[in-house]
Amino acid sequence: MSTEAKKIIISAHGLPRPVLVVICCVAVAVPFLLVQFPPITDLPQQTAQIRLLLETLNDPVGSEYRIQWFTPYSLSYLLLGLSWSVFGPENAGRMAMLAIGLAWVLAIHLVAIRRGRSQSAAVLGCLFFFSHILYWGFYSFAIGWPAFLLWFLPTTRKPAPNFTVREGLELVGAGLLLYVSHLLWFLAGLCWLGLDSLVLRRDFKVLLRRGAYLIPLIVPAIAWFPKISESSWATPALWSTMPLSRISLPWLKEAALGGIQGPIEHVLVGVSIGWVVLSVLQNRGMLKRRIDWSFLLLSGMFLSFVMCLPDKYMSTIRFGPRWMPMTAIALLLAMPPPILKPILRHALVLVLVAAFCLVTAGSWIGFERKELSGLKESLSALPERPTLLGLSYIQSSGFVKVPPFIQIFAYSQVLKGGKLNFSFAGFPPSLVVYKNDFDPPWTINLEWFPELVKDSDLKYFDFVLVNGLDATHESIRTASVLTPLTHEGRWRLYKVGERKERSTP
């Protein structure tokens, strides 16, 4: 490469933004491309929804399920369905989440370009995709952040003197994208609309005009609440950590990331805090002019959600903490960059991106090889359409912080169909749900508490998929009616012995 060409690619102004975007996309993609089973808790159950969809479409009358085409969570299922058709069932969930990660990268850089924010801050913000939102597998919520950023752009643009139909339709389109992503994101969008209009614009008339266009979306959103609140999934608000107890750096760090084990998350949070502090100190004379007040207000809104909302509500876990990654991203984009040469800023964030990518990829590979050993063999040994009970006697991982094993058994439904002891079809907002209320005749919550399983539960299943250490499997082999079909690894498949009174749900 000539010296002149090098000056075009790497100059005193740093790397061109397209190069940074590509680097971020590659960093997000690498971990997903190196494993088949990433440590994403809800990934198997979410992907199994597509299997149930196809089976229900094939036999709508005879199926015990029905399809909710207008669920306010449909965008993620559309993405999962497209991924299923392109990559097949074994890769659908993984590639769909990768697509969401790439959408984060593109959306963050897009708003940074449109609002003239720091390229390096955008790169740093992309790493917060690898948070507990990803590792829990909150598909609909994860896809809602890029949708919200597309909502953020028209709502922060100065409106015309007379609010035009074109502006209204653009707002409706962005609002519809929010609605089909996740109901919480639609409500957050409405909160932002009010804050932007009343705090920054101080124009109540603009708020009324915007609200009038959104009525067709607000009405169905309100209609969904009784369906959830009256279901068996509805639970009261639960604060496992009270608001004042959340004012601590360790808690906020876990809320912002909380993904993989090890020191790399401490490094990312430390660099982010140092970035903001250095920005304030170096720009203190011009800070008021250089801050993006819309992003700062947005960060404050999300932080209020983090501090005030419960940990669980309506069976939605991490109800408050799930907003912390967005708080961090909005704050990074709100602040002017530290006064360093662009090439130095880019070098700093790119070294961190490379380190974070490599550590994440290594953790995922270790998770698949060590903690999912025997899984592929067990799934291969299953026949078509089995009735399967999943029991994970190991709940925690040495590689990730969330419990990644509780839904692993749903891979059997993804690959072979059949029935499980627990399904997201019982969750009211899912794409595919039970036609009638389903009350399992076996012990519930076995995915969380396998030690509660009874011998009487086994009569409803043909196979049991067990995650445990060698001692656990030896105990099962010698003291139960289960016949081992696989004999190696943590995950092993057992066939339930014949009983006189067998029944299926």
Strand (E) positions, 195-338? 312-313, 316-317
d(CA 190, CA 294): 15
Closest by CA position to 438, among listed 417, 460, 416, 423: 423
Domains of the chain, residue spans: 13-364, 375-496
Q: Candidates 3.40.720, 3.30.70, 3.40.50, 2.20.110; correct CATH number of 375-496?
A: 3.40.50
Q: Within 13 Å and on the Cβ side, how many CA atoms surround 21?
A: 15
> What type of residue is 174?
A
Please say whether the beta carbons of 183 and 73 come within 8 A: yes
- Residue 6, pLDDT score: 38
Indicate the pairing of strand 316-317 with strand 65-67: unpaired
Q: What is the DSSP string of 9-41?
A: HSBTTBS-HHHHHHHHHHHHHHHHHH-SS-S-T
Tens digits of pLDDT across the chain (505 residues): 334 333 333 333 567 889 999 999 999 999 999 999 999 999 999 999 999 999 999 999 889 999 998 888 899 999 999 999 999 999 999 999 999 999 999 999 999 999 999 999 999 999 999 999 999 999 999 999 999 999 999 988 876 666 777 888 888 999 999 999 998 999 999 999 989 888 887 677 778 888 888 888 888 878 776 666 555 555 677 888 888 889 999 999 999 999 999 999 999 999 999 999 999 999 988 888 999 999 999 999 999 999 999 888 877 788 899 999 999 999 999 999 998 888 888 899 999 999 999 999 999 999 999 999 999 999 999 999 999 999 999 999 999 999 999 999 999 999 999 999 999 999 888 999 999 888 899 999 999 999 999 999 999 999 999 999 999 999 988 877 899 999 999 999 999 985 434 444 4
> What type of residue is 204?
F
> What type of residue is 189?
G
